[in-house]
Structure 1
């Protein structure tokens, strides 16, 4: 009887020690699952339940977190504009780290954040294998989902912290890509950023001059008419990515997959751009002839 009483006391002591350690040392407690769902804090309860149904999870089999507008500004405020962030957190995300299979990204009802942008950012953040779904109950930009995805990885089973420099670079990369997308199209912007990043990681430029050469060669290859500010923003984020010292051999498959997934979209847009330039060429000739005869 005394032996049983002693064991009981030991178990109670261990349980108490666990609770104290968790509360006072701030060690996070996770759901017994790799799955994490982030919900925009400004959604109604019915909309939150709608999103859980969309992600096919319940609060019992996933770690469900809320993302606030304040968290969006903390994560993206230094690189995104107030109009891009808005004042409400709406979009949501589903995150499931996997042991293989690469990055599988799906988006729904997001008007600004794209699958390619998310995949590129996760590569920069050092995430190699995962299933990610970003969505909303109605059309929104997607910045809350974006904020939630990186937070979700940190709160998945194991709760591994993502390096702050990687998070900063990943967030800036998405905003730079999105801004470029407003000018040259999201597929072209994602492809351009991915190609420059691939060359930066592979070549590891040792000077600003070498980095600038890599950036300019890719821009010239596609004949993009970018502003000085656009190029400066690209160089800024690429400099941060270069400082991360990422391993090209472990990332090249994901980087190549981004290019392959965009190939058809880029090709069709290139054809459209060709005919647009051809039209401007003949229009210029016509204007010249008209001026000559007049």
Structure 2
């Protein structure tokens, strides 16, 4: 066979195999959101931290106005502040679930963010949240959702979904100040699972679920705490999420919180048993007095 012909066949075959590889631009699926109030140097440092640049990822800014739009009704002014600082990295994936890591943010944690992403209907993504210095991280959720929408493989989220996901972070964050972040995340996840599964017809049905779940623990929640959870779950219920689709994700979060919540559930049960025994002997004492 002619050497030139053989060489031509080899080159053609090579180009056919190489073409799919050249068409896969993994970095183009990434999105980074940067706090608008950072200095130019800080913005560049955050891009380096996420290991991207403007050529390998969609880079957008998040402003304090956007934060207030989604969090202003539920987050205190002290936590919200007047500047947008925290940044996020979002890479939608086809498998692997939600992988969330945080750095230099104190008011929100990975479990809170993962919970809210489930509410937003996001199934698979690698997410990182960070800041050049320690901040509350309130811009994180607003940024993540905006970044997801701007990523190549992302999708447009409706305003109700974004509002509810941000509200979930806010309510969980406030609850976390009282009982701890992980406990708050676990409690909200458990209540949300029941609400999505049962789809209560009215607010009373939601309140019943909230009370049934919270009564299992030794947490001392105020009336406002309960009302905040009920309000959040009312909005979650309106999203009409498919329990079969999110069940695995919810159970995944629950499994990581299992040990954290179990001890408090045991304390609550033990306290109830002790109260019952105390009432029993008190009744006997009263009978003997009579």
Band of TM-score, shorter chain: 0.7 to 0.9
CA–CA separation in structure 2 for the residues paired with 1:105 and 1:169:
19
* CA displacement, residues 78-101 of structure 1 (integer Å, 9 cap, x when unaligned): 221211110111110000111111
Among 73, 79, 86, the alignment partner of 2:68 is 73
Match of 1:161 in 2: 156
Q: CA deviation at 1:224?
A: 2.0
The yes-or-no answer on 1:87 pairing with 2:82 is: yes
* CA displacement, residues 159-201 of structure 1 (integer Å, 9 cap, x when unaligned): 5210211111111111111111111111111100000000000
Match of 2:145 in 1: 150
Contact 2:92 2:154 in 1 (8 A): no
* CA displacement, residues 206-252 of structure 1 (integer Å, 9 cap, x when unaligned): 12222111110100011322111111110001011111110011101
CA–CA separation in structure 2 for the residues paired with 1:48 and 1:85:
20
Task: Calculate the TM-score normalised by the size of structure 2.
Answer: 0.80
CA–CA separation in structure 2 for the residues paired with 1:41 and 1:211:
38
Q: CA deviation at 1:75?
A: 2.0
* CA displacement, residues 116-141 of structure 1 (integer Å, 9 cap, x when unaligned): 11011111111111110001111100
* CA displacement, residues 234-286 of structure 1 (integer Å, 9 cap, x when unaligned): 0001011111110011101110111111223335677899999xxxxxxxxxx
Q: CA deviation at 1:144?
A: 1.5
Match of 1:252 in 2: 247
1:269–1:224 Cα change, 3 Å: closer
1:54–1:207 Cα change, 3 Å: same
- SS of corresponding position for 1:210: helix
Match of 1:195 in 2: 190
CA–CA separation in structure 1 for the residues paired with 2:204 and 2:110:
32
Match of 2:92 in 1: 97
- SS of corresponding position for 1:169: helix
CA–CA separation in structure 2 for the residues paired with 1:175 and 1:121:
10
CA–CA separation in structure 1 for the residues paired with 2:75 and 2:249:
26
- SS of corresponding position for 2:28: coil
Among 208, 217, 220, the alignment partner of 1:213 is 208
Match of 1:25 in 2: none
1:153–1:170 Cα change, 3 Å: same
1:257–1:263 Cα change, 3 Å: same
The yes-or-no answer on 1:135 pairing with 2:130 is: yes
Match of 2:169 in 1: 174
Contact 1:32 1:157 in 2 (8 A): no
Structure 2 unpaired stretches of 5+: 1-25, 272-290
Task: Calculate the TM-score normalised by the size of structure 1.
Answer: 0.79
Structure 1 unpaired stretches of 5+: 1-30, 277-294
Judge which range, 150-159 or 175-184, deviates more. 150-159
Match of 2:234 in 1: 239
